[in-house]
Amino acid sequence: MGNEEEGADRARSAFGNAQDPSTYRKAVQSKERFQRRFGDDSDAVYHLMSAEAPVIGKALGVRSLMLSYGTEPLDLAADAAAAPLPPKTAWTDEGAHGAPVIVGNIRMGFGHYRIAMAMASAAHAMGYTPYWLDLLSFRETTGSKMIEDQNRLYSLGSKLSQDFPPFNRLIWEPLNSEGFRKLSYNAADQKNSELCVPIFQDIDRDIPYIGTHAWPSQAAVHAGMRKVVNAIPDNWPMALHLAEGSIHTVQTPSSYLGYHQLRGMDPKRQLVPMPHDALFYTGHYVDHELVSNIEADCARRRGRVLGGGPVRYLISVGGAGAQQELFAAIISHLIPSVKRHEAVLFVNVGDHRNVWEGLVSEVEGLSALAECHFDSFSDTAAFAKAALEGDAEGIHAFSDQDIFSAVYSSNILMRAADVLITKPSEFSFYPVPKLMIHRIGGHEAWGAIRAAEVGDGTYEMDQDAEVLSMLDSFQKDRALIAFMCDRIEDAYHAGIYDGAYKVVDLAVHGLDSRYARP
């Protein structure tokens, strides 16, 4: 679905539901404040260039788009034609021939990056050349400065929510569950995302485009892109994620119904529902490398845990670097099992090295037990491959200042892990047995509900004692992990993890896609 209403002011209404004049006025003022702070570059001409993306460039064939300081516009179709053709897979689209698909994203925590990697992976497996457009990376532009400012505030809020329970209860939880849910919230986002339009100067308006956050999706629609898919991350309907003029996709049936009705987005009135051709249920957004190896990886897990081997736990620290105290409690609790060769720990702190340093200072004996794999993705990849194919023991810590390595390390370690310990973030939808610790932000609660209902994860655990009790259960009753593997295979055969492929198909073929039905 393209931007049929050229020049439409998306901040004035959403799907036929008008914003009140005060809300619209505040939205305009929000955009103007950012322009005063960071400059007005609406008339600037930015040209782009492409290069192989770090880490995922070789693995997934991804090319990054970045600012060029030359005067020639980038011909993206020609650039893609010069790239090596992706190898054929069972998912290859016969009409792909390496044609470009843009994945528009931002870093707002790790979740949106992780979804973007899943889309790039699926596009590559389908025969397309994925292009990475990170709107936060264009540091000298007004739009990028605006996003960086908002990202800084979000990270601070996430951290404060963990350090100060009253802040979490009174401000952070309500904001993430109800504040972002309001239709009025969409108006300011629509206005602010207009600041990112100059970045699209060189991009052909008919190139398929997938946004993994509402701002990249909104910006693409404002720029006149005609094949935009807005891949909505959360399982809790929020107006924050609306980008009218795009095709919206969701990962779950409950999310589909909630978004269709714009559920609870304005308690003062019954809103006009989203049109049927603007919203589609696709299933979970998961990387091709994970989906295509589900049965083999589940077989390995059953063999390890039912055969008496140590249970392998992957702890993945999120993009805000929060929950350090709980991670310390988990590691302390498992260290005796590690010493008895009954458990193995993989701890990925992403680009938050300070979190690891904090854990070392809090957990007695951790430093002596841990082997560190820092700032070397090749080392991490080699370790993950060896662990997948063979034995592993002890505690292994992973960290990398490169954002691609920080995020993608968990993806490759996941295949060699038996249980992923995570908050109910985007990982809620991944095909690995999961222990769900307490959320950061109310919107994440329904991710854990989805995992618990599918059966590939636990329910959300609010108390530390509950988490530690579940760890004891995994250690004593290995059949619990095998049970989750059975549910993962059931979901795999039902196509629940095929969402990323379907999103790419919708971006390329639009309403002619074979998945273009509710």
Predicted local confidence at residue 290, as pLDDT: 98
Residue 218 φ/ψ region, left for φ over 0, alpha for ψ in the -120 to 50 degree band, beta for the rest: alpha
- pLDDT digit string, tens, across residues 286-305: 999 999 999 999 999 999 99
Predicted local confidence at residue 363, as pLDDT: 94
Q: Is the pLDDT of residue 176 over 70?
A: no
| Of 410, 232, 402, residue with least CA distance to 315 | 410
Binned at pLDDT 50, 70 and 90, residue 515 comes out as: confident
Query: What's the half-sphere exposure (Cβ side, CA atoms, 13 Å) at 142?
Result: 23
Q: Is the pLDDT of residue 179 over 90?
A: no
Predicted local confidence at residue 37, as pLDDT: 96
- pLDDT digit string, tens, across residues 146-169: 999 987 877 777 677 667 777 767
Q: Is the pLDDT of residue 2 over 50?
A: no
| Of 63, 47, 76, residue with least CA distance to 199 | 47
- pLDDT digit string, tens, across residues 351-390: 889 899 999 999 999 999 999 999 899 999 999 999 999 9
- pLDDT digit string, tens, across residues 403-444: 899 999 999 999 999 999 998 888 999 999 999 998 776 678
| Of 241, 257, 200, 226, residue with least CA distance to 48 | 200
Q: Hey, what are 267's tokens? A: 């308690």
Q: Tell how far CA 61 is from the center of its chain.
A: 19
Predicted local confidence at residue 246, as pLDDT: 98
Predicted local confidence at residue 1, as pLDDT: 45
Q: Is the pLDDT of residue 3 over 50?
A: no
| Of 371, 429, 434, 381, residue with least CA distance to 405 | 381
